[in-house]
Amino acid sequence: MRSQGQVRFIKISSGMQKAVAALVVAALLGWAISMVVMAWSQYQAQADRASLLQREAKVATSEERFDEYASDIGKVTSDLAARQDFLEAATSAVLPEDAAMAKEGETVTDSSTEAGETVSKVSALIPEARNLAEIEARQLVLVERLTRYADRRAARAANAIRSLGLDPKAMQNAPDRSAMGGPLQQLSSGSGSKLDPRFERLGASMDRMAALERGLEGIPQFLPASANLISSGFGYRRDPFNGGGAMHSGLDFKGPIGAPIHAAAKGKVTHVGWKSGYGKTVEITHGNGMLTRYAHMSKFNAALGQQVAAGDIIGAIGSTGRSTGPHLHFEVRINDRAVNPRPFLEKAPHVLEEARAAAPRQPIRQTVR
């Protein structure tokens, strides 16, 4: 610095220089942060305004839909009536005429009188809703007819099962849920509403009918080999190897090596392979604790996990395992207890034929969509 002809020098230490630089950097950082905060605030405000506009648009859309329903209830009623006409026409192909009438001992309600009173009251209080009340009445009548029909089919299936020496209650209480799913679609309209008990009754009746008829399909009903060639029956016999008394837990069907072996009923193959004493063996699980076993086979025509129908070829007669010659050893087991297969094979085809003759070719669940 020059002052009055004299020159003076001012020295700034390195520490002072660092302090000044730090202050400058801090000021720059503070400015940058404030700018970022300001920009974020503006962005957030714009986003909130956009969200508000979207919500307003959705509200407007729902209001428009409400106005459409309110202003044209006749069209809504017409659409519902057309759907009800379709349901009644579709079910008429499977519902017999007597399903409209209750029989002695049946517990399904008859809502025709109640429905008529409801229509009259609604017509007096809300004239424009009369057609909706009439559609509801028709719907409840259809539900009751379907329930009666399902109950009658279930009763026929239960009688058939009982005639074969089995317990239908064990089958109806064991529904097959191994392959079920899908989105939840409740029949009630909201959290506070309750499903009409007649719909709940229909669901229970159809579940019982399906379980019993599925149980019928799993009962041995098809001869695994020729009945004329049964060489040994179920029960105690003289053992062919040691000559002593022994329990024979199945039927033996004599036949040439390579002769086909058929599945006795619908089911799932749960064993394919060698089994001690049985040789080459196939086991089929039919549900409700029932299993059929096919032993001493020469070859397999079934794979583990395969679904088979009654009569499907699952292998060929052989003489593997503890066997004195080519034959099929066939067992029926319930809850792992061997039972005599002969009553099933002799009676089941006739019993099932009668039960199926009383049912439509297409079940209800395939006709009503």
Percent residues over pLDDT 90 in the chain = 22
pLDDT one-digit tens code per residue, 334-355: 999 999 998 888 888 777 777 6
Q: Which residues, in sequence order, are bridge partners of residue 238? A: 245
- Asked if pLDDT for residue 150 goes beyond 80, the answer is yes
Mean pLDDT within 229-255: 79
Helix (H) / strand (E) element for 337: namely strand 337-339
- Return the H-helix or E-strand segment holding 291: strand 290-300
pLDDT at res. 173: 62
Mean pLDDT of 309-321: 95
Residues 6 or more apart whose CB falls under 8 angstroms from that of 128 comprise: 73
The pLDDT of residue 10 is: 73
Position with higher pLDDT, 292 vs 156: 292
Residue 43 has pLDDT above 80, yes or no: no
The residues spanned by each domain of the chain are: 17-71, 77-175+195-219+360-367, 227-340
What's residue 364's pLDDT? 38
Containing H/E element for 330?
A: strand 327-334
Say how many C-beta atoms besides its own lie within 10 A of residue 306's C-beta.
17
Q: How far apart are CA 265 and CA 310, in angstroms?
A: 4
Residue from 76, 75, 97, 78 nearest 86 by CA? 78
Report whether 364 contacts 91 (CB < 8 A).
yes
pLDDT at site 266: 93
Q: What is the pLDDT of residue 365?
A: 38
pLDDT digits (tens, 9 = 90+) for 278-293: 999 999 999 888 999 9
Report the distance separating Cα 158 and Cα 152, nearest Å.
10
pLDDT band of 269, cuts 50, 70, 90: very high
pLDDT of residue 115: 62
- CB of 199 closer than 8 Å to CB of 187: yes
pLDDT tens-digit map of 165-200: 888 887 766 555 454 544 444 555 444 555 667 778
Torsion of CA 189, 192, 193, 199, to 10 degrees: 90
Q: What is the mean pLDDT of the chain?
A: 77
Q: How far apart are CA 288 and CA 306, in angstroms?
A: 18
**Confidence at residue 369, expressed as pLDDT on a 0 to 100 scale:** 27
pLDDT value of position 357 = 65
pLDDT given for residue 286 in this prediction: 93
- Residue 315: predicted pLDDT: 96
Look up the CATH architecture of domain 227-340.
Distorted Sandwich (2.70)
Nearest to 153 by CA among 361, 365, 355: 355
Rounded CA-CA distance 292/256 in Å is: 21
> What share of the chain in percent tops pLDDT 70?
71
Instruction: Decide which of 314 and 210 is more confident.
Output: 314
Please give the pLDDT value at position 185: 47
- Position 70 confidence tier, pLDDT thresholds 50, 70, 90: low
Asked if pLDDT for residue 63 goes beyond 60, the answer is: no
pLDDT on residue 76: 66
User: How far is Cα 288 from Cα 174, in angstroms, rounded to an integer?
Assistant: 7
**Does pLDDT of 2 surpass 80?**
no
Q: Per-residue pLDDT tens for 82-134?
A: 777 777 776 765 666 666 566 666 666 666 666 667 667 766 777 766 777 77
- What mean pLDDT comes out for the span 201-229? 86
